[in-house]
Structure 1
């Protein structure tokens, strides 16, 4: 009988379940990394565990496969916690495999880097397990992959004690068979009640969250919106689930809602929220309206329902529910006037944008976005941060995705540096699509230790870095308190990029008239397999109008 180590068994299991790429920073022994590479799986070595988890999350979101990240023990695991918090909030299928203190000394608190890793990881994962028996690795890995992918996806954690990992077991006992479950639907009576409610609505709103991005059949949500004649909004994490060129699409909800769309929400009589937790930013400014009208919430996980609103709650797969509604809801001729209002609203939004001519006297972020939209390929992907000024990219139509484009954003946790790191994972998942990370310099500086990682692996990317000197959001709040004196959170004299590398192109952008030339130059360098960093020197007061009125965390809101 052929004997293999637990590390080799893990590598075989990952390969059996279709894993082609692993991110991480392994422990000192390197046994697991070597076993993974010997099994034909690429191992991308990051410089920082936090960034490695962000990269694996970006990869998982873009590929719709399980992301895998390998880390050491003790501080290596604690350093990955921010990434796990983000993956949990994203409902992202992610497998973290860490090293652990050997079983012979575990619990004595005398071993090198010993920590109760299970205690601080468990609240952030769907399932966690410390392997104590070498022969259990088969079922442990099967369950980890199953839990990460099935139902509402999420992160899982497996800890491999160092003495267990090198132990031998019988290869014939391993059985990594396919794992799948049927997609759940609400009971038929629930579907019928939902259809009745929908057919009574004259001015419905369809709100699409991050759960809608897992729909495999493109066009289902567009067909449903047309059948209902519904105003369509997305949450930030739901962006890319619906064609933004569709006449019924009117941008992002809540904090990012266009003022013209707010007038339509006064008239709405039903909100159908699909795949959304209805978190604070998605509801910002129209909570009272939701209290006053009918709503239907559709989620795969009952924990994701917002119970402060009197809704019809439907537990089920979003795509399956959408198809059932399509099959049973008749087209609503009475909603044609509502549709005309929606299309008129969208035209007004674009007219307002067109009236905002490029300002030759100063560099504006909206103009950078305009040029990117004009010149990027039709299937390009945006990866965002969520700071003071990169939030311009959340405001439709200042950034509107083309039919084949996509976007990935931080969750409601808005983990700083997520977008800059996740862009590497997204680019690895989609090597034939141009990936542009639109980030602030505070976030980029947190990521910067892993810029050499992208260079080492020659992963072409375009970073548009909005350079205001650091933490613009905090400085903006500081100014708004009326305090005088030097900036507290900015340092505009520091050089952001001090790396010289044959695969790195850094392009300064300081004036409006330079935008076209810089974007063209960036795309040319990208086509030559370069990592491009556009350093855009922006003014701290260049922020979207709704953000100018926000001070502090989430104060009193401007209600619709």
Structure 2
């Protein structure tokens, strides 16, 4: 049915077509028409305003990662649009489907250095799958529909739509349409590639499975679990792939790479076939591309042909949808047994189990104890978001994820300030699940203003801050490689986080010793309100193991001598 609507109403109608019921954003002059329509449609679309546009973008990202739906963020022109850039780049690096809608000056003012005008399409071209500036009102609806399709087709990612203000105010004809179904068409010859991969797997005596975020993105975790069962092999997961497999399974041996486990490193060294699923071979995994899995047969399975052979040469590959590929492999493969190999790997797993050691006293708080207690109290079923730094690695090392889409962390861009917004988006999208953002105090001070967003919207997110008064990961590098010259990494701001929590109107809880960990976490998990947990830890606690940049991944540092 045809009807005449303002452009801003067309935008909202198109969002509803796509099943959108939640958007994140911040109003401003160039998007006043859109916000006027959001007011009219407030019974159909819930809008979450943050304290800063970057947090809104991260919230849309965290919403997408943990729900599997496309995140939507709205910002005004100029600084509103540029404040989205880091969030868009974060989503791009981690292949997260998101649609960013920005306003701009009216078409007659474009290119004149008008007030709050910026070429956001030019700025974001390298960090979006595609972007648009709408010049013709008749194209608005179809551009929005196409943006959602592109964001979700193939290797997923963010799309930006820049809309001049006069387009949002213009009258135009609108006709409702059903969304185009996303079908990842596998390339011709894929079944032959899958058959060849199956033969390699059948003939392997020491297979090793390594999976990344592509498995989660493709909703292929059930197929992965069946594949792991069939092959009977040890499994390592990338940072992005943390919830691709139940971490409590015996076959799971931890991460691989710079902060991976010694067990994963030894398994890589001794395997005869590495099966890589939905992972792009990041430099943080390879460490040294020239020595990584040298002389090993590698099967690389990924949806993006550009990733095949980009960072490392592989023996064989299958390019396509990992969900389809794993299902086909499971049809072709018999139930396999590698008892001797698995026993060897399990012995390594026991021998090289991770264990932090107290530095000053037996009752001091260790991040491992906090995260493992959080894991026990939530049965591994909470959604965990993180900032970037030592705490990020501790979360990946010590929380045993049992459910898919339970981890939101900036893997590729490494964005400090990401986790708080992402955690808010995750909680909005998953109101019945416990959501915890794990932060360091360095990252926390980049986004602590978002405590006001928690209080305003009554979002019961748990913000857990490891406070050590230093930029821990950078300081760790300074200790190892810069002669202990701790340049600008002792932050020591002197802020009382409990007073800060009170000022923002959220619950504040502090943990200062080991004996407080369980009772305080039990208290916060029962709180049901926005909560800031201040965990005081020693500044000299490091993330181990650690492979120095450019070193062989099989030779991690297992201990760091302190002063």
Moved more, 154-163 or 257-266: 257-266
Show the counterpart of 1:436: 436
Show the counterpart of 2:177: 175
Structural RMSD (CA) = 2.5
Q: Kindly indicate whether residue 204 of structure 2 is the aligned counterpart of residue 205 of structure 1.
A: no
C-alpha change, 1:232 and 1:358, in structure 2 (3 Å) is farther
**Corresponding residue SS for 1:466:** strand
Residues 13 and 176 in structure 1, CA contact (< 8 A), matched pair in contact too: no
- Distance in 2, Cα, partners of 1:272 & 1:509: 42
Q: Kindly indicate whether residue 43 of structure 2 is the aligned counterpart of residue 44 of structure 1.
A: no
Q: Kindly indicate whether residue 18 of structure 2 is the aligned counterpart of residue 17 of structure 1.
A: yes
Residues 148 and 156 in structure 1, CA contact (< 8 A), matched pair in contact too: yes
Show the counterpart of 2:262: 259
C-alpha change, 1:546 and 1:353, in structure 2 (3 Å) is closer
Q: CA deviation at 1:15?
A: 0.6
Residue in structure 1 matching 2:240, options 224, 234, 237? 237
- Distance in 2, Cα, partners of 1:484 & 1:105: 52
Mapping 1:214-233, distance limit 5 Å: 214-216=217-219, 218-233=221-236
Moved more, 122-131 or 497-506: 497-506
- Distance in 2, Cα, partners of 1:37 & 1:508: 40
Q: CA deviation at 1:505?
A: 1.0
**Corresponding residue SS for 2:108:** coil
Residues 118 and 130 in structure 1, CA contact (< 8 A), matched pair in contact too: yes
Residues 281 and 412 in structure 1, CA contact (< 8 A), matched pair in contact too: no
Q: Kindly indicate whether residue 251 of structure 2 is the aligned counterpart of residue 248 of structure 1.
A: yes
Show the counterpart of 2:327: 323
| Alpha-carbon displacement from aligned partner over 1:324-345 (angstroms, at most 9, x marks no partner) | 1100122334x22212223333
**Corresponding residue SS for 2:25:** strand
**Corresponding residue SS for 1:256:** coil
- Distance in 2, Cα, partners of 1:358 & 1:293: 44
**Corresponding residue SS for 2:462:** strand
Residues 95 and 145 in structure 1, CA contact (< 8 A), matched pair in contact too: yes
| Alpha-carbon displacement from aligned partner over 1:458-499 (angstroms, at most 9, x marks no partner) | 111112101112422333444553356896541152334524
Q: CA deviation at 1:302?
A: 1.3
C-alpha change, 1:458 and 1:189, in structure 2 (3 Å) is same
**Corresponding residue SS for 1:169:** strand
**Corresponding residue SS for 2:349:** helix
Q: Kindly indicate whether residue 314 of structure 2 is the aligned counterpart of residue 310 of structure 1.
A: yes
Moved more, 492-501 or 303-312: 492-501
Q: CA deviation at 1:6?
A: 0.6
How many equivalent pairs are there?
547
| Alpha-carbon displacement from aligned partner over 1:388-436 (angstroms, at most 9, x marks no partner) | 34422222xx332245783222122110011122000111111111011
**Corresponding residue SS for 1:288:** coil
| Alpha-carbon displacement from aligned partner over 1:224-267 (angstroms, at most 9, x marks no partner) | 11211211000000010101121211111112322234333221
**Corresponding residue SS for 1:222:** helix
Show the counterpart of 1:473: 473
- Distance in 1, Cα, partners of 2:92 & 2:271: 32
Residues 239 and 408 in structure 1, CA contact (< 8 A), matched pair in contact too: no
- Distance in 2, Cα, partners of 1:275 & 1:439: 27
Show the counterpart of 1:362: 364
- Distance in 2, Cα, partners of 1:34 & 1:377: 44
Show the counterpart of 2:518: 516
Q: CA deviation at 1:187?
A: 2.2
Show the counterpart of 1:288: 291
C-alpha change, 1:477 and 1:260, in structure 2 (3 Å) is closer
- Distance in 1, Cα, partners of 2:16 & 2:52: 25
- Distance in 2, Cα, partners of 1:67 & 1:134: 24
Q: Kindly indicate whether residue 102 of structure 2 is the aligned counterpart of residue 103 of structure 1.
A: no
Show the counterpart of 2:544: 545
Residues 215 and 322 in structure 2, CA contact (< 8 A), matched pair in contact too: yes
Unaligned runs of 5+ residues in structure 2 are: 556-563
Residues 66 and 407 in structure 2, CA contact (< 8 A), matched pair in contact too: no
- Distance in 1, Cα, partners of 2:360 & 2:65: 35
Q: CA deviation at 1:354?
A: 10
Show the counterpart of 1:535: 534
- Distance in 1, Cα, partners of 2:504 & 2:413: 36
Mapping 1:379-458, distance limit 5 Å: 379-395=381-397, 398-402=398-402, 406-458=406-458
Q: Kindly indicate whether residue 341 of structure 2 is the aligned counterpart of residue 338 of structure 1.
A: yes
**Corresponding residue SS for 1:331:** coil
Q: CA deviation at 1:148?
A: 0.8
C-alpha change, 1:217 and 1:258, in structure 2 (3 Å) is closer
Mapping 1:129-168, distance limit 5 Å: 129-168=132-171
Unaligned runs of 5+ residues in structure 1 are: none
Residues 288 and 552 in structure 2, CA contact (< 8 A), matched pair in contact too: yes
C-alpha change, 1:357 and 1:443, in structure 2 (3 Å) is closer
- Distance in 2, Cα, partners of 1:143 & 1:198: 39
Q: CA deviation at 1:438?
A: 1.1
- Distance in 1, Cα, partners of 2:220 & 2:102: 35
- Distance in 2, Cα, partners of 1:506 & 1:241: 33
